[in-house]
């Protein structure tokens, strides 16, 4: 993950509603932590209310939270990544470019971005969400990335600055997305590998559901009909995420087995 050495300063606008420390939540250390976040983002906000809003989950404030910024950031992200792919891969057709863009803007990729920016340290969550593991919840981390994109655009009023930040965050992800492996999710790759070896398709079983909505954790078991290949059990905040994680571990396990496989 890359970040600029000198953060961009927002361009002045005619109607700037700059937030001071007094306008942010009292007792919050957000302003102090913002200096750390600024270095990671590669951008310095003029309006401090925007990054504050971009990191505020609805569990903390049901009315003033990041959801509208996320809406804007989602649209900007799709355009920025689409344009970057168009120029980076001039020989790829529309279908291939669409799959590459989908790979780069999906939740898993956004979580990778969020982890590189260490956003979990800056999220503003309600008590219940904090206790429920919200700081590491994939959906919240992905949403925060998109909302920060929207915040940077509104603060800078400059598409070029926004584009520069986003592409810096993505770094090598865009360069590597043309790899066939990156374009397919783990379940698809596991299924194709098994079919190529003439094995049965994998079986996924929901083993357990822990907790109550919206803080549920799903535990899934992945089984393949191959000798000496133990089942894989993984968990996630949705059944789909748990299955994908289990499939990825199963692929890694299969690659370590001897070449001469036998069915059970």
Q: Among all residues, which ones are annotated catalytic?
A: 74, 146
Which residue has tokens 């983002």?
Answer: 41
For 123-187, the three-class secondary structure string (H helix, E strand, C coil) is CECCHHHHHCCHHHCHHHHHHHHHHHHHHHHHHHCCHHHHHHHHHHHHCHHHHHCCCHHHHCCHH
Q: Which residues contact 68 (CB under 8 A, 6 or more apart)?
A: 150
Tokens of 95: 């279908």
CA distance 11 to 16: 10
Distances in whole angstroms, Cα of residue 31 to Cα of each of 38, 45, 102, 144, 259: 11, 11, 34, 18, 56
First to last CA, the chain: 43
Distance of CA 62 to the CA centre of its chain: 22
Q: Crossing angle, helix 67-88 and helix 94-105, to 10 degrees?
A: 140
């Amino acid at each position: 993950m890359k970040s600029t050495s000198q953060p961009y300063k927002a361009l002045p606008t005619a109607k700037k509603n700059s937030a001071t420390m007094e306008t942010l939540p009292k007792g919050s250390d957000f302003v102090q932590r913002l200096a750390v976040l600024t270095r990671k983002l590669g951008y310095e906000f003029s309006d401090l209310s925007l990054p504050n809003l971009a990191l505020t989950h609805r569990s903390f404030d049901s009315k003033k939270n990041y959801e509208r910024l996320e809406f804007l950031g989602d649209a900007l992200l799709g355009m920025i990544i689409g344009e970057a792919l168009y120029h980076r891969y001039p020989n790829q057709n529309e279908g291939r470019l669409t799959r590459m863009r989908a790979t780069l803007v999906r939740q898993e990729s956004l979580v990778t971005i969020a982890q590189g920016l260490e956003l979990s340290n800056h999220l503003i969550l309600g008590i219940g969400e904090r206790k429920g593991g919200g700081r590491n919840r994939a959906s919240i981390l992905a949403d925060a990335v998109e909302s920060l994109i929207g915040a940077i655009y509104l603060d800078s009023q400059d598409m070029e600055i926004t584009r520069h930040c986003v592409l810096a965050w993505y770094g090598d992800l865009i360069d590597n997305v043309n790899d066939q492996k990156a374009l397919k999710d783990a379940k698809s790759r596991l299924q194709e590998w098994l079919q190529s070896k003439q094995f049965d398709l994998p079986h996924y079983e929901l083993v357990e559901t822990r907790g109550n909505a919206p803080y549920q954790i799903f535990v899934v078991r992945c089984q393949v009909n191959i000798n000496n290949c133990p089942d894989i059990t993984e968990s996630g905040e949705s059944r789909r995420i748990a299955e994908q994680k289990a499939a990825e571990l199963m692929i890694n396990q299969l690659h370590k087995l001897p070449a001469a496989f036998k069915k059970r």
